[in-house]
Structure 1
Amino acid sequence: MDSDSRNSPMFNQSVEKGLGILAAFGSRNRHMSLGQIAETVGITRSSAQRIVFTLEALGYVTKDPYTRRYELATKVMEIGCNYVAANTLIDSANPFLSAMNSNCDETVSLTEPCGTNMVYVASFTSRKPIVAHMAIGSRMPMYCTSAGRAYLAGLPDEEIRSLLRQAELKPLTPNTLTDPEQILANVVEGRVRGFSMNFEEYYLGHMNVGAPVYNKNGRAIAAVHVVAPSSRWTRDEVLGKLGPMVRECAGAITNAVRAH
C-alpha cells in the first residue's frame, strides 16, 4: 500500500486493523489470546478487544470457552469462496489445468499476483507423492518461483526491478538466487523461451516450470506452473517435456481470457 492512500482522510484504520487481525491467524497462529493478537498485529490491547468482539459477533472468529483463545471461524471462508466464484479467469483456466494434470500426472496450478507474492487460486494435484501441498490461498514469493518469474516476464523491465526492490530476497534453499540482476536475467531468459524455471530454489526436491497468462492488452495477469519432483524428473526432462506443456497450457488460457 502506498503512503498517500494510508494518509488519505478516506482511509479507515479500523477496517485495516480488523483485516489485519483476520490475516494474523494461520498455520503458525491457529489459536491466539487477546494479548497475542494485539502483539502480532501491532495494536493496543483495548483496540484488539473491541475489534475482536465485533469479529466474534459477526461470526468471523470464535473463542474457546475454556482456554479463552480465539481462532478463525468457518464464515471467513465465505470471502475467499466469493472471490473464486466471481473470478472468470479461474473458470476459463480450469479445463486446461485439468487437461495438463491428466497428461503429465503432476500438480498443475494457477496463481495470481499479490504484492511481491503469487497466490494459489486453482490447483489440480498429482496422484503421486509430492514434497509439499500448497492449499488455495497459499502464497509464495515471486523472486524464487517459476510462477513468480513467469508473471514477472510479462511485465516491463522497470516494473520487474521495482518489485524485486520491494521483495525480501533471502535464500530459502542453497540454490536460491538472491541477486536482483541474476534474477532479472533469469526472468528475461524465461520471457524469450516462453516459460520460466526453478530448480530447487523454493523447496528442495521440487523443480518447477511456469508460463504467464496475458489479458487482452498483452499484460501478464497470472501464471501457470507445474511441480516436478526431482525423484521423478531430470532437469532435461523438465525443460524438454514440461516446459512446452506449461507454455501451451498458459497460451490456451490466454486465448480463452481474450475470447471473453
Structure 2
Amino acid sequence: MTLHPLDSGAAHEQAAADPLFNQSLEKGLAVLQAFQAGPRVLTLGELEQRTGMTRSSVQRSVHTLQRLGYLQKHPQRGFCLLPKVVSLGFGYLATHPLVQAAQPYMAELSRQTGETVTLAQASGVEMVYIAQLTTPQYIPAHTPIGTSVPMYCTSCGRAYLSGQSDEEVERVLAHSQLIRRTPHTLVDRQAILARVRECRRDGFALNVEELFAGDMGVAAPLVDRQGVVVATIHLAPPSSRWSRNDLRKKLGPLVKGCARAIASALPTTL
C-alpha cells in the first residue's frame, strides 16, 4: 500500500531534499485543492488560511490560474473554479481500465437495489469516487464523482483497509483527523479496527450514519489477481429505505458479489 505524504512537515522536508521538486506547481495545486471542501467561492484570505501559504504566494498562484483559465474572479467576492478544472481528471476517468471493467456490473447492482453505486480508490487517508451510477430516488447527501471521503468512518474506506495489515490500518488512523461527524461516528481506533476486521471476515464493510445523518453505506474490496485491493465498490442506501439488518443480510452479499465479478473482469495489469 502506497500512501501520499500524510504529514505536511515531512512532505516539505522531502521536497527540500529533492532538486527536481517544483514548489510553484505545488502551490498552484494547493490552491485548486482548497476548493474541494467548499464553498464554491473563496477569498484570498480564505485561500491563505486553507493552504497555509503567504498572501503573496496565494496572489501569484491565483493570478497564474486565472491566466490559464482554471479560476475566475467572482462578481461579488473572491474567486471560483472554471469548468476547465474538470479536464484535469478526465483522462484518468475516461481511459482507466478499472472504470471501464466496472461499469456493466455497477449498472446491474444499481438495477438490483435501486440505489447509488460508487467505485472508489484510495488517496492518502481518503477514498476518492472515480465512477458512479446514481439513483433517481431521494438520497440524503450528494457525493458526485471526485468526492473525497475519509477512510476511518466510511464503508468504502474500511473495505479498502481490510486488505491491509493491522499495522497499516493503525498508521492510517494515526494520520487521520478522527472527527465525530455525527452522533454515530466511531472515533475510537480500536473500535474502527474491529470494524475493519469484521470486513475481512464477512467480505463487506458497513457504515450506519457515521458520515452523514440519514446516510448509510455497504462496501466490498475489489481484489486484483495479485491479491491487492485496488478499489472498492459500495452502495449508499438511506436509513429511510433500509435498516442495518438489510445492509448485512440483503445488500452486503450483493455488493460482495459485484466486487468479485468486477475483479474477474479486470485485465492482468491496471
Q: TM-score, normalised by structure 2?
A: 0.90
Distance 1:192 1:39, change over 3 A: closer
Q: Does 1:158 align with 2:167?
A: yes
Residue by residue, what CA displacement relative to the aligned partner does 1:203-249 show, whole Å, maximum 9, x if unpaired?
Answer: 22222211001122211111111112121112222211100000000
Q: Is the 8 A contact 1:5 1:11 kept in 2?
A: no
Residue by residue, what CA displacement relative to the aligned partner does 1:32-63 show, whole Å, maximum 9, x if unpaired?
Answer: 33344334322222222222222111111112
Residue by residue, what CA displacement relative to the aligned partner does 1:144-173 show, whole Å, maximum 9, x if unpaired?
Answer: 111110000011221111111111112111
Q: SS of the counterpart of 1:169?
A: coil
Which residue of 2 is the match for residue 30 of structure 1? 40
- 1:93 deviates by 0.7
Q: SS of the counterpart of 1:129?
A: coil
Q: Is the 8 A contact 1:143 1:183 kept in 2?
A: yes
* Letter matched to residue 176 of structure 1: T
Name structure 2 gaps, 5 residues minimum.
none
1:14 corresponds, among 20, 24, 28, to 24
Name structure 1 gaps, 5 residues minimum.
none
* Letter matched to residue 53 of structure 1: H
Q: Is the 8 A contact 2:70 2:84 kept in 1?
A: yes
| Equivalent runs, 1:64-83 vs 2, <5 Å | 64=74, 66-67=75-76, 69-83=78-92
1:207 corresponds, among 196, 213, 216, to 216
* Letter matched to residue 105 of structure 1: G
Which residue of 2 is the match for residue 229 of structure 1? 238
Q: TM-score, normalised by structure 1?
A: 0.93
| Equivalent runs, 1:101-250 vs 2, <5 Å | 101-250=110-259
Distance 1:58 1:200, change over 3 A: same
* Letter matched to residue 61 of structure 1: L
Residue by residue, what CA displacement relative to the aligned partner does 1:176-227 show, whole Å, maximum 9, x if unpaired?
Answer: 1111111111111111111111122222222221100112221111111111
- 1:5 deviates by 2.7
Which residue of 1 is the match for residue 103 of structure 2? 94
Residue by residue, what CA displacement relative to the aligned partner does 1:60-107 show, whole Å, maximum 9, x if unpaired?
Answer: 11124x546321111111012122113211111111111100011011
The whole-number CA distance in structure 2 between the counterparts of 1:130 and 1:27 is: 20
Q: SS of the counterpart of 1:228?
A: coil
How many residues align? The count is 259
- 1:27 deviates by 5.8
